[in-house]
Amino acid sequence: MPVSNEEVRVGMTQVVDFFFSPYASAHTRRFKAAVEDGLAHLSQIQPLDPRPGQDVTLSLFVNVDRPIERVAIYYTTDGSEPVGERGSAERGTVIFAEPTDRQQYNADCGQIARIWQAVIPAQEDGILVRYRADGWSLSDPCLHWYADRVDPVTMPQKKGRCFAYHVDRWEAPAWWHEAVVYQIFVDRFSAAHDEPPLHSEETRGITDFFGGTLRGILEKLDYIQALGVNCLWLSPLFESPTHHGYNPSDYHHVARRYGTDEMLRRLIQEAHQRGMRVLLDFVANHTSDEHFAFVDALSNPDSSYASWYDFTDELPHAYRSYAMVQSMPELSTDEPGVREYLNGAALYWLEHYGADGLRLDYVPGPSHAFWTSFQQAVKTAHPDALTIGEITSPMSEIVDYAGRMDGFMDFPLSAMLRRTFALREHTLQELLSFLDAHSQQIPPSMSKAVVVDNHDMHRFLWLADGQRDRLKLATAFQMTLEGTPIIYYGTEVGLSQSDDAHKENAYCRAPMIWGEQQDYDMLAYYRRLVALRHQYRVLQNGKRRKIVVESDVDSAQVGAYIRYNNEDYVLVVLNNSEQTAHVSVQLDNVLNDGRPLPAHLCAMLARPEMEAVLPIHAGRLEISLPPLSAEICVSQK
């Protein structure tokens, strides 16, 4: 029998949501280092996602303590790498930046940077703009700086970073906006009926292989389809020495422990026949130490792959690796050979196996220019494919990837959602106010995924001390928001974890529970929410507006919003308090578009003993919500 959260956590201190702990982001570390060196850019452009016919303004940051008196940009529009120095271009066109009266202060290092700007003229659709920047002193010709020459996160470029953006009209494919995604950690999900059964934590260490397979997933497609999801996201399928697979040894074949290449094609074909899309995980930042290129480069300094990695005695293990983990050597993703190899591998999974899109791991590792090239390769060949990034950064940095991928996992929203519903550190009204401000920051061309939990963070139930009503409330919120919802395998049936993932995050990748171990009430609730999201398309594509409500309980913990478009609207009411809430919602002036109010709304999540029809009197709707619950109210036409 599974051990309950309450049994495991007796005597424990309050759990910490470690995935969202404060830390210096990759952007912050890079900016600090580049400004200290003298000249920073970090792909700061406006507009963020240039369209045909739009001029692009570049911002550069000059350390005021460096005698930089001129700044130049060298750019090309034919895909070639620009070459230039001190205002003279060998390849490409040169433009000069001008200082503005604006400065930026970096509190971490006490440095002040003056902002300089230059404008690259508007380009036609399909143009890749590549550029470099440098600065120099007029009084001392020996003093010279390259933009972003230093990089504490990944491979530094001695002559500065080559930047890039692509001019296009690409956006996330239409099918993504209609999707509900089911994330499967392949090793932990299921084995086929004639394969060795999935191991348990009693028979395997949490970082060992548990025996999940592609055939196991294939045999569970009926279960997945009954949940109502229409998109699968599979964890990395590459050959890899680890259970998680996020350090590939082979970018072109399925790991033998999962099955065969042909089995993946069969799984994707069967999913397609059921109307399901399939996303595959893709890792560009690093390989395993068993990858052929690394093995060859490590043993042979003259290897043609030596430039793919950064070998130096100054680093642990004598080479640069992700998070200093020896088995995860980092790729030099700005190397043309590496870029071509990774772009080709991504296209191979889309073309050879028939995948519909890629979830991009650890986006802040490779440069923005790499992701620009990657997006160009994918979208040129497969315009209907999705690219969605894992960007563990503040929202102000996430938006810099607009145009370089279709969308992002909305971790800032996830953090606030979990702090509100699981940890109770914020009120519902604080969450709704955050959501309004947060949504304004997202560029129109950038889509988002709404995540309650995933493979790198505590299971929601662990964080919520096993309180299932809190998970139901959080999920009702997730399923009624703009953005594509992602369900992490097992969350829909009450799967938690046996120990704190802060010790080892594999604890949040527990083996899937089946049969009588599942919480059937939770499963029914998930199925109902997913069905409602599909039935009422306004929940997929409508706008959202917060509504002021009155209640007889803590007003900070009760709230409502509507999702609406020109044809329809849905009212969502939430009670995040521990008491039954009697809520009054004034509806007559909410939309301000002249459409008449119906005589009543229907409560679609109502418990059987509650009245489902909610009359509207004088523009006001009254509703009672049990503690920690939500209601979705619709107009029946």
Please identify every residue annotated as catalytic. Answer: 361, 390
Whether 50 and 156 have beta carbons less than 8 Å apart is answered as: no
SS3 (DSSP) at 339: helix
Q: List Cα–Cα distances, 381 to 284, 371, 378, in angstroms.
A: 19, 15, 6
HEC string of 193-248 equals CCCCCCCCCCCCCCCCCCCCCHHHHHHCHHHHHHHCCCEEEECCCEECCCCCCCCC
Within 8 A by CB and 6+ apart from 422, the residues are 17, 460, 463, 464, 470, 474
User: CA–CA separation, 92 vs 39, rounded Å?
Assistant: 21
Residue 152: count of CB within 10 angstroms of its CB: 12
Place of tokens 């709707």: 621
Phi, psi torsion values for 400, nearest 5 degrees? -65, -15
SS3 (DSSP) at 178: coil
User: CA–CA separation, 560 vs 630, rounded Å?
Assistant: 9
User: CA–CA separation, 387 vs 375, rounded Å?
Assistant: 8
Whether 168 and 219 have beta carbons less than 8 Å apart is answered as: no
User: CA–CA separation, 165 vs 154, rounded Å?
Assistant: 20
Alpha-carbon 292 to chain mean position: 29
**Inter-axis angle of helices 411-421 and 468-479, nearest 10:** 140
Which amino acid is residue 394, in one-letter code?
A: P
User: CA–CA separation, 581 vs 573, rounded Å?
Assistant: 11
| Beta pairing partners, 283 | 361
**Structural tokens at position 531:** 């069905």
Residues counted in the chain? 637
Q: List Cα–Cα distances, 222 to 218, 237, 487, 611, in angstroms.
A: 9, 22, 16, 33
Element housing 299 (H / E):
helix 292-299
Whether 337 and 308 have beta carbons less than 8 Å apart is answered as: yes
Phi, psi torsion values for 450, nearest 5 degrees? -100, 120
Whether 386 and 356 have beta carbons less than 8 Å apart is answered as: yes
Q: Which of 443, 475, 506 is nearest to 209 (CA)?
A: 506
User: CA–CA separation, 118 vs 222, rounded Å?
Assistant: 56
Is residue 417 packed enough to be buried (19+ CB in 10 Å), middle (13-18) or exposed (0-12)? buried
For residues 411, 413, 419 and 421, what is the CA-based torsion angle, rounded to 10 degrees? -120
User: CA–CA separation, 457 vs 459, rounded Å?
Assistant: 6
277-283 vs 407-409, strand pairing mode = unpaired
